[in-house]
Amino acid sequence: MAPTRYAVIGAGLAGLTSAYEIRKADPEAVIDVFEAEDRIGGKLFTVPFESGPTDMGAEAYLALRSDATDFFAELGLADELVSPSAARSLIYTGGELQNLPAGGVMGIPSHSAPVAHLVSPETAARIDAEADAAPIDWQVGGDVSVGELVRERYGAEVVDRIVSSLLGGVYSCAAEDLGVRATVPQLAEALDALAEAGEKVTLSAAVKSCEARRAPRDPGATPTPVFAAFRGGYALAYEALAEKSGADIHLDVFITGVTRDLRGFHLSGQGVSTDGAYDRLILATPAPTTAALLRSVAPEASQALKSVELASSAVVGMKFDSDEGLPDNSGVLVAIDEPDVQAKAFTFSSKKWPHLGERGGALVRASFGRFGDDAIVRAEEDLIVDTALDDLARITGFDGRAAGLSEIYVQRWFGGLPRYDAAHLATVEKVRAGIADVHGLAVTGAWAGGVGVPAVIDDARAAADRVLTLG
Ligand SMILES: Cc1cc2nc3c(=O)[nH]c(=O)nc-3n(C[C@H](O)[C@H](O)[C@H](O)COP(=O)(O)OP(=O)(O)OC[C@H]3O[C@@H](n4cnc5c(N)ncnc54)[C@H](O)[C@@H]3O)c2cc1C
């Protein structure tokens, strides 16, 4: 019997993971991966700094759940995983560096004490009185904007100084542009539970119940580090996946169309040279591309997916000869209402990650850009670098120019992350329903099951499973 022919579009984490899973299940498979760029990895991108490999896209992953760690161990990379130092992150607000609030959910507190150093006395009083306000008109299973909800209950300061900075670090969007269920699902579930129990639905009560549900830490146990990263950067993972998938990876091939007939799926696009139809197809591309590629084979799914918008960002990696004067913290998030700072965050990578600290000097990553606010991402490279250095000096007092800037890399991520707004989960459901009848087709990627590395891996494995088991 002829081997089954699989095509995967996109050689980011989702596409490469799918290809790897297909190979595991079907050793005889013909697997072609098509990638528009001249390299694999997508938003995982490790740059060879002279001082060592340095990530310019994702730099870590959430390791509280063990599935991603187990997956990387399966790839033979267990010994390459490293944990962060105990250094803490700060928030820059009101022109000062402050500690991040303890407790709460994504910076949303259940009472004023944890955020009292970040907000005015009026806002603190409002937080503490929230339980007495009229209840939230919460629709069980529905979604609303995080920013609108928190602004309405606690006021603008909590959103602009705290919540948008924390969420923006993950999603490159302000809290207004993100859905509660889409980005803080535990809070949406707590709000559901209050409504279902017939209790008064308030934000403080919902946050309190999230706090109560957090597993108490056994004081004798070694705590699992929250994050993990690769000593040699994410390249270790995407190169291992590419190699172990045994797929033919076609670089510089931009797929523009997919059609289907009795023989299977046909691809068209610049640089495509394939001899024949594919039995199975996985689209592992960003939402707008996936919407375009679904046009002919699943028009309703295509139409639904068009509504997903993308947020752009830029990362500036900077290596300094000296770290004297750099705070002993893992980084700084910048409040969205800071008038004189354009950066949204700095990671003091050499303080956050001991393996990077061992290289000597200082390694700092500056991040810019949010959904709807990406002028700086489009600016001249020199201007981005100057802004990064000026903002760093303003916030921390660390003079990067005087410290000796020995290496620098500017990476722009146009459309780097999908916007998980309040309509997002319903959209994903519509897309999945719209392809349910298309035999042999799966879609996956950061827009589908979550933007974080573990979520992308999970969803890509499910996509591989779908095309493998549909027969
Ligand atoms: C700056 C930044 C920092 C991040 N930091 C973290 C972090 O620290 N931890 C974490 O867990 N997550 C992080 N993320 C999120 C995570 O990196 C991404 O969600 C994930 O890597 C996305 O993988 P993907 O395969 O879905 O998409 P992508 O990486 O976007 O891959 C899609 C691929 O498809 C290709 N493609 C697109 N169109 C076509 C076409 N028409 N034909 C052929 N190929 C095409 C693209 O070139 C790309 O290679 C970060 C993201 C960014 C942008």
Pairing of strands 280-283, 362-368: unpaired
Best of 43, 45, 71, 443 to mutate for ligand 1, by most ligand atoms within 8 A of CB? 43
Tokens found for residue 180:
């509660």
Kindly state whether residues 240 and 199 are assigned to the same domain. no
Query: Region 355-374: what's the mean pLDDT?
Result: 95
Asked if 127 contacts 109 with a C-beta cutoff of 8 angstroms, the reply is yes
Q: Is the CB of 286 under 6 A from ligand 1?
A: yes
- Among 64-78, 267-281, 347-361, 403-417, where is mean pLDDT lowest? 267-281
pLDDT at 129 over 90: yes
Confirm whether 288 is domain-assigned.
Answer: yes
pLDDT at 83 over 60: yes
Kindly state whether residues 333 and 411 are assigned to the same domain. yes
AA identity, residue 172: S
Q: How many domains does the chain have?
A: 3
What pLDDT score does 219 carry?
64
What pLDDT score does 471 carry?
47
Q: At what angle do helices 203-213 and 185-196 cross, to 10 degrees?
A: 110
| Nearest-CA residue for atom 51 of ligand 1 | 58
Distances (CA, A) of 191 to 44, 114, 206, 400: 35, 21, 5, 46
C-alpha 12 to ligand 1 mean position (Å) = 6
C-alpha 34 to ligand 1 mean position (Å) = 15
What is the per-residue pLDDT across 305-363, written as a single tens digit (0 to 9) for each?
999 999 999 999 999 999 999 999 999 999 999 999 999 999 999 999 999 999 999 99
Kindly state whether residues 291 and 426 are assigned to the same domain. yes
Q: How confident is the model at residue 274 (pLDDT cuts 50, 70, 90)?
A: low
Supply φ then ψ for residue 336, to 5 degrees: -70, -20
Best of 285, 316, 344 to mutate for ligand 1, by most ligand atoms within 8 A of CB? 285
Kindly state whether residues 298 and 425 are assigned to the same domain. yes
pLDDT at 392 over 50: yes
Kindly state whether residues 254 and 207 are assigned to the same domain. no
Q: Is the CB of 327 under 6 A from ligand 1?
A: no
Q: Is the CB of 11 under 6 A from ligand 1?
A: yes
C-alpha 416 to ligand 1 mean position (Å) = 7
From the CB of residue 382, how many other CB atoms can be counted at a distance below 10 Å? 9
Kindly state whether residues 359 and 388 are assigned to the same domain. yes
pLDDT at 275 over 90: no
Kindly state whether residues 112 and 125 are assigned to the same domain. yes
Confirm whether 228 is domain-assigned.
Answer: no
- Above pLDDT 70, what percent of the chain? 97
Q: How confident is the model at residue 374 (pLDDT cuts 50, 70, 90)?
A: confident
Under 8 Å CB-to-CB from 49, ≥6 apart: which residues?
317, 319, 407, 409
Confirm whether 451 is domain-assigned.
Answer: yes
Which CATH number covers residue 237? 3.50.50.60
pLDDT at 8 over 50: yes
What pLDDT score does 373 carry?
85
Tokens found for residue 118:
């970040």
Confirm whether 89 is domain-assigned.
Answer: no
Q: To the nearest 10°, the Cα dihedral for 229, 289, 15, 236?
A: -30
Kindly state whether residues 255 and 390 are assigned to the same domain. no
Query: Region 403-415: what's the mean pLDDT?
Result: 96
Confirm whether 220 is domain-assigned.
Answer: no
The domain boundary residue, chosen from 213, 247, 278: 213
Pairing of strands 280-283, 89-93: unpaired
What pLDDT score does 245 carry?
98
Which CATH number covers residue 175? 1.10.3110.10
What pLDDT score does 218 carry?
66
275 burial level (CB within 10 Å; 0-12, 13-18, 19+): exposed
Kindly state whether residues 298 and 431 are assigned to the same domain. yes
- Among 38-52, 80-94, 264-278, where is mean pLDDT lowest? 264-278
Say how far apart CA 334 and CA 166 lie, in whole Å.
9
Q: Is the CB of 37 under 6 A from ligand 1?
A: yes
Q: Is the CB of 59 under 6 A from ligand 1?
A: yes
What pLDDT score does 225 carry?
76
| Nearest-CA residue for atom 19 of ligand 1 | 451
Say how far apart CA 409 and CA 390 lie, in whole Å.
16
| Nearest-CA residue for atom 35 of ligand 1 | 10
60 burial level (CB within 10 Å; 0-12, 13-18, 19+): buried
Q: Is the CB of 445 under 6 A from ligand 1?
A: yes
Which CATH number covers residue 387? 3.90.660.20
Atom of ligand 1 nearest to the CA of 14: 25
27 burial level (CB within 10 Å; 0-12, 13-18, 19+): exposed
Say how far apart CA 324 and CA 326 lie, in whole Å.
6
Q: Is the CB of 127 under 6 A from ligand 1?
A: no
Confirm whether 197 is domain-assigned.
Answer: yes
- Among 269-283, 357-371, 408-422, where is mean pLDDT lowest? 269-283
Query: Region 414-442: what's the mean pLDDT?
Result: 97
Q: What is the mean pLDDT of the chain?
A: 95
Query: Region 243-257: what's the mean pLDDT?
Result: 97
What pLDDT score does 216 carry?
65
Confirm whether 87 is domain-assigned.
Answer: no
Confirm whether 390 is domain-assigned.
Answer: yes
What is the per-residue pLDDT across 154-207, written as a single tens digit (0 to 9) for each?
999 999 999 999 999 899 999 999 999 999 999 999 999 999 999 999 999 999
Among 85, 148, 154, which Cα is nearest to 114's?
A: 154
221 burial level (CB within 10 Å; 0-12, 13-18, 19+): exposed
C-alpha 447 to ligand 1 mean position (Å) = 10
| Nearest-CA residue for atom 50 of ligand 1 | 58
Pairing of strands 280-283, 441-443: parallel
Q: Is the CB of 363 under 6 A from ligand 1?
A: no
Kindly state whether residues 201 and 254 are assigned to the same domain. no
The domain boundary residue, chosen from 398, 417, 436: 417
Q: How confident is the model at residue 272 (pLDDT cuts 50, 70, 90)?
A: confident
Q: Is the CB of 227 under 6 A from ligand 1?
A: no
pLDDT at 91 over 50: yes
- Above pLDDT 90, what percent of the chain? 93
Atom of ligand 1 nearest to the CA of 444: 26
Kindly state whether residues 198 and 263 are assigned to the same domain. no
The domain boundary residue, chosen from 179, 213, 247: 213
Q: Is the CB of 442 under 6 A from ligand 1?
A: no
Q: To the nearest 10°, the Cα dihedral for 433, 437, 438, 443?
A: 20
- Among 75-84, 85-94, 163-172, 207-216, where is mean pLDDT lowest? 207-216
CA–CA–CA angle 243, 247, 249 (5° rounding): 90
Diameter over CA atoms, the chain: 74
| Residue 257 exposure: Cα atoms within 13 Å on the Cβ side | 6
Kindly state whether residues 364 and 459 are assigned to the same domain. no
pLDDT at 53 over 70: yes
Q: Is the CB of 331 under 6 A from ligand 1?
A: no
Q: Which domain holds residue 285?
A: 5-41+233-308+420-469
C-alpha 338 to ligand 1 mean position (Å) = 29
| Residue 330 exposure: Cα atoms within 13 Å on the Cβ side | 15
